Copies of this chain bind each other. A is one copy, B any other.
Amino acid sequence: MMTNFQHRYDRLRGRVDDHLSRLVNPGMPKALREACRYVVASGGKRLRAVLVLLASEAAGGTARRALPAAAAVEIMHNFTLVHDDIMDHAMARRGAPTVHVKWDLNTALLAGDTLLAIAYNELLNTHYDDMRLLVRLFTQGVHDVCEGQAMDLAFEQRNDVTVTEYFAMIGRKTGRLITTSTQLGAYIGGGSPSVVRSLRDFGAHLGKAFQLQDDLLDVIGDERQFGKAIGGDIVEGKRTYLLLTALARSSGSDRKLLERVMRRKAASARPLSHRGRQSLVRNVRAVYEGLGVLAATRQEIAAQTTRARRALDCVPASPARGMLHWLSLSLVHRAS
């Protein structure tokens, strides 16, 4: 059964990849064109695009009609990654050099901007009467992701970020695009207002579970499967759910260690030796375990997944709904 779901996912992803490969105009200036193609071809799970397709089917429509919107969301997501990687000084993504490393800052900045224009252009190819509604939703997505990133950057300068603020931030930075995906799909599929609402709520809970799992994988993941070095969030002093929860529970030497992590802001942190890094990550992980933070995170992920499933219960039963449920489970059991 699981294999069937995975097979169907891979086929949907394949359709998205095919579609995406045709969207970068060959007439573009060389460096810009190559950078845009590099980004669009860089793969990934295509989670947001597949969510658009499945939400459209679950709402009573077809995946086919939602394909332009699916591609648009995926490209918009890539736009945010290219610009975020500049801001975060990230050297690699999915095991390959980031655009500003492979080319330069200017090309990365401009490729991001161009990708956003390509995304809008593709969204407009959707066969749907109320284009104003779709563009409004999509634009709210762009806006909120920017806000979320701004909050994330501001958090780096603060030592008093709360878990509530963290959820407000990831609700924008990660969550918004997931709800944008399920809402766009639901509208394009012709869903009733209640179905649109349910699929939006499903997306909201899924987005939280997904980000929490991402935070968790940074500490417990497998380096090769995860595609980046374990402990990156710790080394960069990222205000993750794990760190904020641990801080609220800690005292004594544990607290001192976590405060040292807090001071490691991305831009100004002293580089660590390989050994120093390994020891820091190991120690922080031990503190997380001792304070029950890993268990608490797993619990929160499970709670959000349950809420996501409950939201789905309000959507009429269909193979697509089954897929969405499977997807929410597989995402929180993923290793990368």
A residues whose Cβ falls under 8 Å from a Cβ of B: 28-32, 83, 86-87, 105-107, 109-110, 112-114, 116-118, 120-121, 124, 131-132, 135-136, 139-140, 142-143, 146-147, 149-151, 153-154
Cβ B106 vs Cβ A118 within 8 A: no
Cβ B32 vs Cβ A147 within 8 A: yes
Cβ A114 vs Cβ B132 within 8 A: no
CA distance A107 to B153 in the complex (A): 9
Per CB-CB distance, the 5 closest pairs between chain A and chain B, nearest first, are A117-B143, A32-B150, A29-B150, A117-B142, A131-B132
CA distance A211 to B125 in the complex (A): 33
Cβ A86 vs Cβ B109 within 8 A: yes
Cβ B143 vs Cβ A118 within 8 A: yes
**Which residues of chain B are near A149, meaning CB under 8 Å?**
110
Cβ B146 vs Cβ A110 within 8 A: yes
Nearest chain B CB to A105 CB, angstrom units? 8
Known pairs A114-B146, A131-B132; list 13 more (Cβ under 8 Å). A28-B150, A29-B147, A32-B146, A86-B106, A86-B109, A113-B116, A114-B147, A116-B142, A120-B139, A121-B136, A124-B136, A124-B139, A131-B131
Cβ B147 vs Cβ A121 within 8 A: no
**Which residues of chain B are near A30, meaning CB under 8 Å?**
154
CA distance A140 to B109 in the complex (A): 18
